[in-house]
Amino acid sequence: MFVADRADEPGADRLPALLRRTVDGTVREVARVEAKGVRSVLLFGIPTRKDPEGSGAWDPEGPVPRAIRAIKAGHPEVTVLADVCLCEYTDHGHCGVVVGGRVDNDRTLPSLGRTAVAYAEAGADLVAPSAMMDHQVRTIRSALDRAGYPDVGILAYAAKFSSGFYGPFRDAAGSAPAFGDRRAYQMDYRNRREALRELALDAEEGADLLMVKPALPYLDVIAAARERFDLPIAAYQVSGEYAMIEAAAARGWLDREAAARETLAAIHRAGADVILTYFAGDLDPSTEGAR
């Protein structure tokens, strides 16, 4: 869910699940999906103010901490996950602090730790670091432990590929890079061995769950992760995967619900224990084949 400081407005190309909502609107949407059986939500923030450091990410009065507090007050049984990245909060759109035209990994790490603590203080159950900085899981685990939050879990975006499927998200979040791209810190989509190495490193650094992103083009990586690691494996069916089905269904080229369920079943069959998907609040859990 995209939490914005401003009033509700459409997300990318008016895709329904990419709607930007205020804190109040987000709480109403949580109530709706909880009634349908959804028990977990992942929050992304859309601030009104951005700067080179992305300092709005750890502002306790920013959209994500305020939404966490409001959700937990009204829906305490819902598990709240908060994305930890700077791309929505930097004026250049990169996931870390930029020095000399390049993202500086080590300068970024303390900011990620500070952001994770801000979300934990607000009541997040898990934080989900997606910046793809080396040693981000170790940094966040240490920061949470020092701040007195040893029970706040980490869902690590461990194998996050440099993908062509992120476009609708970047439009909705306003997080497209102002220059260059993210290939220097996201992974080459041709390299499965690197993905497994990154998964192993995040497991060693203290991740509680390991995630592969995107999902459907990387079923082989999901399956390999399930074979190799004992931690729960998550997969993120990203905005482009969602948008393809929505666009084809809108043109009458396929059955929306049938296609969504088939892709989700494939992701689960490959080995994902947890699936993050924009379809979660729409699919009818009472229909045949629902899990």
Buried b (16+ CB within 10 A) or exposed e, 178-215: eeeebeebbbebeeeeebbebbebbbebbbbbbbbbbb
Which band of pLDDT confidence, cut at 50, 70 and 90, is reported for residue 96? confident
How many CB atoms within 10 Å of residue 159?
28
Tens digit of pLDDT for each residue in 219-254?
A: 999 999 999 999 999 999 998 999 999 999 999 999
Ranked by mean pLDDT, the top range of 52-61, 81-90, 126-135, 144-153 is 144-153
Residue 67 tokens, joined: 């939404």
Burial (CB count <10 Å: 0-12, 13-18, 19+), residue 174 = middle
User: What's the token pair of residue 169?
Assistant: 């998200």
* Model confidence at 7: pLDDT above 80: no
Which residues are known to be catalytic?
Answer: 160, 213
CATH number of 2-216: 3.20.20.70
CA distances, 221 to each of 134, 211, 234 (Å): 20, 10, 11
Q: Are 52 and 90 in contact (CB under 8 A)?
A: yes
pLDDT over 90 percentage in the chain: 62
Q: To which residue do tokens 């497209």 refer? A: 176
Domain ranges of the chain: 2-216
Q: At 66, list the tokens.
A: 């305020």
Mean pLDDT along residues 203-225? 96
More confident position, 179 or 282: 282
What is the pTM (predicted TM-score) of this model? 0.89
For helices 192-205 and 136-146, give the axis angle rounded to 10 degrees: 20
Read off φ and ψ for residue 236, nearest 5 degrees: -110, 110
Average pLDDT score, the chain: 87
Q: What is the pLDDT of residue 290?
A: 45
